[in-house]
Amino acid sequence: MGGDCRTPASGRRGLRCPRAPGCRCRPRAHPRGRNRRARRRAGSRHPAARCLHRINECDLRKGTSEIDALLAEANRVADHTVFISEWLRDYHAERWFDPSRPHSVIWNGADTTIFNAAGGAELDPSGTMRLVTHHWSDNPLKGFDVYQSVDRMISAGELPGVELWVIGRWPQECEWRAAKTFPPATGPDLASLLRQCHVYLTASRWEPGGMHHVEGAQCGLPVLYHEDGGGIVEMASRYGIGYRDEVATAIVEMRSRYAELRRRVLALAPSGETMCARYEEVIESLV
């Protein structure tokens, strides 16, 4: 006759009780199931409540496997869904989102009192062109393979007249040869570093939207972006140059087109004010 099981494993989803057959223990309900039931009860108790669901993630971004399913489940109670890029909306529409449901695409924006182009450096046609990138995450999909490639080319003299600044965190295995590196920075300190540069370099792959390139653009920097950059592409393509395998070619082209793309980024960069105004419109439509 089995006794009561007190092993923690019996309460974990997908694990069977390791004790003898006949054990009377009952695995604890999984928190995700409790949250699901709680949402349904809340909807039945408060039918006038409106739910705005902002989606800014996906599994492809960092090689995870559970995010898409969690977003699909949570979205069942949404009255309106906001995606932070068209790319992200289309990604989820291929998997679970019904695009006939009410939704909007609202690009990210940063605080323009901090991230702006005032006093920023401008490239002298015969001067050194300073590239910059910054990341909080050290996930390799942020593009460190490309940043290291650019660093090696600069070190080998293959990109004369070009510097690379790297701000934030990077994988431990990264060994910089020529890049000037800085610890993570935020707010005015970060904006000051960005404004000392001329061009923003991002190699992030399958990014739902991102903020790093937004902050760079708002500081007046045209953007070099990877063509597999996800939501970055639809924003940065308005004032930048895309690349896939030949980042050096894109860097050379950026120098020749800098004045044109600088004008474009100053006119078309995103902003936190525009982003907030779009959210206000959506919220007002729901009440």
Tens of pLDDT, residue by residue over 16-29, are 333 334 444 333 33
Which percentage of the chain shows pLDDT scores above 90? Answer: 83
pLDDT digits (tens, 9 = 90+) for 119-173: 999 999 999 999 999 999 999 999 999 999 999 999 999 999 999 999 999 999 9
Q: What is the mean pLDDT of the chain?
A: 89
Class of domain 129-270: alpha beta
- Angle made by CA atoms 43, 44, 49, in degrees to the nearest 5: 40
Angle between helices 144-155 and 247-268 (to 10 degrees): 110
| 8 Å CB contact between 229 and 202 | yes
Q: For residue 10, what pLDDT is reported?
A: 34
Neighbouring CB atoms inside 10 A of 30's CB total: 13
Q: For residue 37, what pLDDT is reported?
A: 55
pLDDT digits (tens, 9 = 90+) for 211-221: 999 999 999 99
In this structure, the chain runs to a length of: 287
Task: Report the distance separating Cα 38 and Cα 34, nearest Å.
Answer: 6
Residue 43, pLDDT > 70, answer: no
Q: For residue 281, what pLDDT is reported?
A: 98
Q: For residue 62, what pLDDT is reported?
A: 86
Domain limits, CATH 3.40.50.2000, in the chain: 129-270
Q: For residue 42, what pLDDT is reported?
A: 53
Q: For residue 47, what pLDDT is reported?
A: 76
Q: Which of 174, 179, 170, 214 is CA-nearest to residue 194? A: 214
Q: For residue 184, what pLDDT is reported?
A: 98
pLDDT confidence bin for 36, thresholds 50/70/90: low
Residue 237, pLDDT > 70, answer: yes
pLDDT digits (tens, 9 = 90+) for 170-219: 999 999 999 999 999 999 999 999 999 999 999 999 999 999 999 999 99
Q: For residue 45, what pLDDT is reported?
A: 64
| 8 Å CB contact between 68 and 95 | yes
Task: Report the distance separating Cα 255 and Cα 126, nearest Å.
Answer: 10
Task: Report the distance separating Cα 200 and Cα 222, nearest Å.
Answer: 6
Q: Which residues of 46-83 are buried (b: 16+ CB within 10 A; e: fewer)?
A: eeeeebbbebbbbbbbeeeeeebeebeeebeebebbbb
Predicted TM-score (pTM) of the model is 0.84
Structure token digits, residue 36: 């699901």
Q: What is the chain's alpha carbon radius of gyration, rounded to the nearest angstrom?
A: 24
Q: Which residue is it, tokens 């694990």?
A: 15
228-248 average pLDDT score = 98
pLDDT digits (tens, 9 = 90+) for 48-90: 899 999 999 999 998 899 999 999 999 999 999 999 999 999 9
pLDDT digits (tens, 9 = 90+) for 84-107: 999 999 999 999 999 999 999 999
Q: Give the H/E segment covering residue 265.
A: helix 247-268
pLDDT digits (tens, 9 = 90+) for 253-267: 999 999 999 999 999
> What are residue 180's DSSP bridge partners?
165
- Angle made by CA atoms 114, 119, 121, in degrees to the nearest 5: 110
In angstroms, the Cα distances linking 208 to 59, 89, 205, 253, 271 are 10, 9, 9, 26, 17
